[in-house]
Structures are given as structure tokens and as C-alpha cells.
């Protein structure tokens, strides 16, 4: 399945005492992009019949994110397991 990208504009509430995005905010964004990906690609039957969960997440910090920046959160589907 192709990548899914969600642009994120840095808001004042995302900034910590070091004047950059707090690490906890990145974890919130991981959830936000995963939910957006699911809702954008799942059919109504899938939404009713299945639940998703992340089995892994990874953050590559290339530089600090600052107020006014727009960054891209990207996700994709890896191996799918069923119960």
C-alpha cells in the first residue's frame, strides 16, 4: 500500500521550554497520522468490521521543529497480522 502523508503545522501549544516541538507531541502526531490514514483508505465495511493498531513506530529527528514550520507525517502499512 502506498505511503500516506499528513502535513502538520506547528502550533504554539506544541512548543516546549526549549523553544521546539516537545517529544510527546511527536507521539500524538503518530496517532493522528495513523487515524487519518485508516479513515482515508478503509471502506465502510472495514471501518465497521476491523480495528487497527500500530505494532511499531519510529521517529527520525532530522532537525528540531519550530513554531511556524510545516512538517510531513508519513505512514504506511507493513505486514498485516490477523487473529
**Separation of alpha carbons 66 and 21, rounded Å:** 6
pLDDT in tens, 57-77: 888 888 899 999 999 999 887
pLDDT of residue 44: 95
Phi, psi angles (nearest 5°) of residue 9: -95, 130
Average pLDDT for the chain: 89
Q: Are 70 and 5 in contact (CB under 8 A)?
A: no
Between 8 and 81, name the one with better pLDDT.
8
pLDDT of residue 47: 92
pLDDT of residue 66: 95
pTM of the model: 0.79
Amino acid at each position: 500500500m502506498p505511503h500516506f502523508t499528513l502535513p502538520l503545522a506547528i502550533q504554539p501549544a506544541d512548543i516546549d521550554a526549549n523553544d521546539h516541538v516537545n517529544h510527546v507531541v511527536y507521539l500524538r502526531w503518530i496517532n493522528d497520522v495513523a487515524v487519518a490514514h485508516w479513515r482515508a483508505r478503509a471502506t465502510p465495511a472495514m471501518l465497521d468490521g476491523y480495528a487497527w493498531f500500530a505494532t511499531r513506530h519510529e521517529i527520525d529527528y532530522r532537525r528540531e521543529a519550530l513554531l511556524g514550520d510545516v512538517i510531513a507525517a508519513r505512514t504506511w502499512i507493513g505486514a498485516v497480522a490477523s487473529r
